[in-house]
Structure 1
Amino acid sequence: MKDISFLNPEFLWLLAVIPALIAWQIWQRQQLQAPLKISSLKGFAGTSSFLPKLKPVLFVFRLLAIALIIVGMARPRKVDISSKTKTTKGVDIVLAIDVSGSMLARDLKPNRLDALKKVASEFVKERPNDRIGLVLYASEAYTKMPVTSDKEAVEKALSEVKFDRQLQDGTGIGMGLSTAVNRLKDSKAKSKIVILLTDGVNNAGFIEPETASDIAKEFGIKVYTIGLGTNGMAESPYAYAPNGLLLYKMAQVEIDEKLMKSIARKTGGKYFRATSNSKLKSIYDAINKLETTEIQELKFYDYDEQFRPLILIAFGLLVAEILLRKTVFRSFI
């Protein structure tokens, strides 16, 4: 019954007359039965018949016919609903991630880079209708994954992000932002977003962050900036041991928040500071809610009318009642 709906459910209220008809039948039957006193029943021996006991079946036929007609008037029908979604306003997003050596600091667990990869991967999964790209930068920048709707490819690219000294160490915020802007400038999407993350200050690259943000603004690209790192000191790498493992020491966390706020404000974005794993996740959740994709859902309804069998059964019951009343039960009151 979960797939059954009624076009005219108000007719179902007429089923309330069924109990009234039953009560009327009982009362009328009692009125038609008059008492007859006789001295003996011997003269009626062997004349008993089961037909009078079956006569109430005629009334049951009529009640069922009436009930079926009422339900038929309510127009029961099976509904098969299919839906199709269509993205009407897509969002193109580039994640610009700092992969300098300081991203291995352990103030986030297990370190800043791994914490970011986990949160960013969840963010990608929650944007099924958008295209996402990935830019990595240190003193230089390069595109790890161009803007694509293939989320599995983006997640795989994210999982492969690591500090491997392919890029000269340093923090070229302008380089990272300009590379991300270059991936989006020709996009036809309704909304173009860069999520720029760093844990330091701009100290490398030949493109100034202010210049990159001016270019982003010119192309209508909104930049959300994230400063990653605790307030104060953090256990940070500073050199390699003879066995190739990193050596750590406590170092002051330095993030150019003034610059990051300026970039966000100029492009219409927002600046966030992530000082813990949970704070980093809440920031990506906030951005996810700020940048929504408009989706149009089209539903198609296929109705299969069910009233015809009910009416046919009701007609059959009425015909059966009339025939039985005119033939088998004709001599009975």
Structure 2
Amino acid sequence: MKNVTFLNPEFFWLFLLLPVAIAWYIWKGKRQASLKISSLKGFKAKPSILGKLRPILFVLRILGLSALIVALARPQSVDISNKTNITNGIDIVMSIDVSGSMLTRDLKPNRMEALKKVAADFVEARPNDRIGLVVYAAESYTKIPVTSDKALILDALSTVKYDQLLQDGTGIGMGLATAVNRLKDSQAKSKVIILLTDGVNNSGSIDPRMASEIAKEFGIKVYTIGIGTTGMAESPYAIKPNGEFEYRMMQVQIDENLMREIARTTDGKYFRAKNNQSLKAIYEEINKLETTEIEEQKFYNYDERFRPFAIAAGILLLLEILLKNTVFRSFI
């Protein structure tokens, strides 16, 4: 009876009548007529087993009525199949600043590691969208093109680090332009860039405002994020001979006016992440703002299960009638 539902469950109330019928049968059996005579010698007879088996007629009746009630309740098994159709897919490119300042320790353990964890959660929360990854410092390049392979995206994201392959600096225009180039030919209903930086535009050959105008022309929305606390933060400023960074307290500088302008030009939104919690909240908000429309159709296939109960009820009641009028007919 797995995955069975009942079309008319109200008939189960009839089960309340069965205890009444059982009580009536027991009470009726206790009522016996009495007759006083001087001797029982003329009534001596061999004890019959039919007297002990006669209650089986009542048992058959109760079982037959129970099966009939279940049949009236109309048991059905339901097989549900789903058909999911993505009606509004989204292509997203995350453009991440990987300059040396991303190793600043105002977020724990530093800005870059905190971002990688939150961005990975964001990727896993969007199974129906295609996502790409661009990294930039003074220059930029595509870490992974837009793809629906989430394992590939997460693997690429885990290898993001400051490794001096790119000239140090902050080329916001470069990072934005490369991300736009990855989305300009996309056929997705919605195209989004998440542009993150922790500094000011001081490198690169492309002006960020020009890049934002190009994004607007291609219908690309840009969400900008400034990452870093307010005031001073423990930042790297030199590399020791053994390759380790030296840190000192330095002023946090983020060109928020530029980031707001880029977001406003492309109908996006600017966010400021001052700690791990606010960074996570920002990605959760972007996740809610950019939702993928999914159309789900459910198909129900009902298989009627009342017939075996109806047949069983008929057999049990018919058996009671046959036994009552044959085997137990002459029993007193």
Matches of 2:241 and 2:15 in 1, distance apart? Answer: 90
| Structure 2 residue 278 is the aligned partner of structure 1 residue 284 | no
Q: Which residue of 2 aligns with 1:11?
A: 11
Q: Which residue of 2 aligns with 1:53?
A: 52
Q: Which residue of 2 aligns with 1:214?
A: 213
Q: Which residue of 2 aligns with 1:238?
A: 237
Give the aligned residue type for 1:90: G
Deviations 1:46-85 (CA, angstroms, capped at 9, x unpaired)? 4322312322221221222122122112221222333333
| Structure 2 residue 102 is the aligned partner of structure 1 residue 69 | no
Q: Which residue of 1 aligns with 2:170?
A: 171
Matched ranges for 1:293-308 at <5 A: 293-308=292-307
Q: Residues 264, 39 of structure 1: CA spacing in aligned structure 2 closer, same or farther, 3 A cutoff?
A: farther
Report SS of the residue matched to 1:86: strand
Q: Which residue of 1 aligns with 2:157?
A: 158
Q: Which residue of 2 aligns with 1:183?
A: 182
- Deviation of 1:232 after TM superposition, in Å, equals 0.8
Q: Which residue of 2 aligns with 1:311?
A: 310
- Deviation of 1:267 after TM superposition, in Å, equals 1.7
Matches of 1:24 and 1:266 in 2, distance apart? Answer: 85
Aligned length: 332
Matches of 1:36 and 1:181 in 2, distance apart? Answer: 108
- Deviation of 1:15 after TM superposition, in Å, equals 2.9
TM-score (norm 2): 0.93
- Deviation of 1:227 after TM superposition, in Å, equals 0.6
Deviations 1:126-182 (CA, angstroms, capped at 9, x unpaired)? 111110000111112111111100011111111111111111111111111111111
- Deviation of 1:100 after TM superposition, in Å, equals 0.9
Deviations 1:229-273 (CA, angstroms, capped at 9, x unpaired)? 111111111122222322222110000111111212222222111
Give the aligned residue type for 1:245: E
Give the aligned residue type for 1:19: P
Matches of 1:282 and 1:36 in 2, distance apart? Answer: 93
Report SS of the residue matched to 2:156: helix
**Structure 1 unmatched ranges of 5 or more:** none
Q: Residues 26, 245 of structure 1: CA spacing in aligned structure 2 closer, same or farther, 3 A cutoff?
A: closer
Q: Which residue of 2 aligns with 1:147?
A: 146
Q: Which residue of 2 aligns with 1:114?
A: 113
Between the aligned residues of both structures, percent identity stands at 67
Q: Which residue of 2 aligns with 1:329?
A: 328
Q: Which residue of 2 aligns with 1:21?
A: 21
Q: Which residue of 2 aligns with 1:273?
A: 272
Deviates more, 1:199-208 or 1:22-31: 22-31
- Deviation of 1:36 after TM superposition, in Å, equals 2.0
Report SS of the residue matched to 1:193: strand
**Structure 2 unmatched ranges of 5 or more:** none
Q: Which residue of 2 aligns with 1:253?
A: 252
Deviations 1:269-290 (CA, angstroms, capped at 9, x unpaired)? 2211111122211211121122
TM-score (norm 1): 0.93
Q: Which residue of 2 aligns with 1:83?
A: 82
